[in-house]
Amino acid sequence: RRTPRTLSEDEVAALVAACERGRDRLLLAVLAGTGMRIGEALGLRHEDWDAAECQVRVVPRDNDNRARSKSPVPRTIPVPPALVRSYADYLHEEYGDVDSDYVFVNLWAGRVGSPLGYAAVYDLVRRLRARTGIDFDPHWLRHTYATRLLRAEVPVEVVSLLLGHASVNTTTTTYAHLSVADTRVALVRAGLLTQDAS
């Protein structure tokens, strides 16, 4: 199995900052802050956001834009208040009176209010690659999220649940790519090595 590609925190911040629209910034922030697959994010409805509890629900359902959730089981992902504020800002500054259940919709081209599709996302990815010089794919944000959690010692069972994996084995197999530096940090933390590598 190939090692999943990840992005640094600086790269994620640069990509979000390079977005010209609040909708696009929110989309990248959702992918980076929840580990959702792109199809899950494109299928989000307003009812899936629980601002008071700072959480977002991923619900498998048929979507007009053909976006899909790979996992058949619904899941709830806790999110930071900053992400809820970004969602609220997007609704206030760009979404306005658009009549749609979908969170991510066409606002400036095509049929306004129709759910954003995969092609529009990959257009955005191409533009962001050109603007930032960062080679990335939306799925890398999912890998980055999972890797960050595992490096922060979040139990693999919790990471698996947050990602919507059918089995903890999927998570373990996919993210068994800890580097030598990660291994060294774990051994230092356990008192089995000293910090000085020399």
Are residues 163 and 144 in contact, defined by beta-carbon separation less than 8 angstroms? no
Which backbone phi and psi does 4 adopt, to 5 degrees? -60, 140
- Which among 23, 75, 142, 143 is annotated as catalytic? 142
Query: Domain extents for the chain?
Result: 1-198
Res 1 pLDDT > 60: no
- Which among 175, 177, 184, 189 is annotated as catalytic? 175
The residues with which 1 forms a beta bridge, in sequence order, are: none
- Which among 66, 92, 139, 189 is annotated as catalytic? 139
Query: How far apart are the C-alpha atoms of 84 and 190, rounded to whole Å?
Result: 36
pLDDT category of residue 56 using cuts at 50, 70 and 90:
very high
Tokens of 161: 């649940």
- Which among 23, 25, 37, 143 is annotated as catalytic? 37
Nearest to 101 by CA among 145, 49, 139: 49
> Higher pLDDT residue, 142 or 1?
142
177 is catalytic: no
Indicate the CATH number for domain 1-198: 1.10.443.10
Q: Quick check: pTM over 0.85?
A: yes
- Which among 5, 46, 70, 92 is annotated as catalytic? 70
175 is catalytic: yes
Contacts of 186 (CB under 8 A, 6+ apart): 178
Query: How far apart are the C-alpha atoms of 166 and 188, rounded to whole Å?
Result: 33
92 is catalytic: no
37 is catalytic: yes
Nearest to 148 by CA among 80, 195, 54: 80
In tens, the pLDDT along 131-172 reads 999 999 999 999 999 999 988 888 889 999 999 988 888 888
Query: How far apart are the C-alpha atoms of 124 and 104, rounded to whole Å?
Result: 13
Q: Quick one: average pLDDT of 38-57?
A: 96
